[in-house]
A = this chain, B = another copy of it.
Amino acid sequence: MAQLQRITIASSQLQQEQIILTSEQQHYLCRVLRLREGDRFIAMDGMGKWWLAQLTGAQAKILEMLCVETELPVAITLIVALPKGNAFDEVVRNCTELGVANIAPVVSDRTLLHPSSQKLERWRRIAKESAEQSERAIVPAILEPVTFSCAVASTTATHRYICEARGNYPHLKTAIDGVPTKSQIAIAIGPEGGWTETEIENALHARFQPVSLGKRILRAVTAPIVALSLITAVYEV
């Protein structure tokens, strides 16, 4: 089952036991993946549901609903300062693989990049592709970029952490130990050069707890992967 190809569909494409395929999806299934009439694939709605489907012309017949258990039992929102160049593409790809629920790109005092709207579209497409490839049930939401102070002020997560490379803070793994399943966790990860003092003060004011990711200095693109790996290990072992 896991070896079948996966595509994401919109809920509106579902009609009773059929999926009405878009011409783009037909092209992808028939020309790119070379599926033929009667071949099976997996359709996912990106919001938790998977179906085993069978290709029948411009439609696909739903054979059965599948049970997927690849989601983490906590909802993690990653608040990440936008890195230079295209590095955020990799952050989206990696964090989707690792089970993030929401990614909130933020413009920090030390952020060089002010993203265009095409970027947001691009990140959402990467999240969708990465969710399909890593066999997730859910496609993470990529939020509109806002300033860091706006992101921390508007977070609704019950458990809030800000990663800070320098300073003798408790390890993230220690901090989240005991956080119950079904919690909403927000983790803020800074840019190259770290957060400014004002940003850390803002975060503390919004009840973010400062934490460490270990003894070495991590690059801004590596830190999110490390943070998510630590959390998955706590909840999946």
Contact = CB atoms under 8 A, between A and B. Distances in A.
Interface stretch (A15-23, A49-57, A91-99): A91-99
A237 interface: yes
A216 B97 contact: yes
A222 B171 contact: no
A230 interface: yes
A2 B230 CA distance: 25
A interface, size bucket: 20 to 34
Interface in A216-237: 216-219, 222, 225-226, 229-230, 232-233, 236-237
A215 B2 contact: no
Interface stretch (A37-45, A59-67, A108-116, A131-139): A131-139
A125 interface: no
Contacts of A218: 97-98, 134
B236 A171 contact: yes
Contacts of A119: none
Contact of A222 (B70, B98, B135): B98
A6 to B, nearest CB: 11
Contact of A233 (B133, B136, B230): B230
Interface of A: 2, 69-70, 93-94, 97-99, 133-136, 166, 171, 173-174, 214-219, 222, 225-226, 229-230, 232-233, 236-237
22 contacts: A69-B215, A97-B216, A97-B217, A97-B219, A98-B214, A98-B216, A98-B226, A134-B218, A136-B216, A171-B233, A171-B236, A173-B233, A173-B237, A174-B237, A214-B233, A214-B236, A225-B225, A225-B226, A226-B232, A229-B230, A230-B230, A230-B233
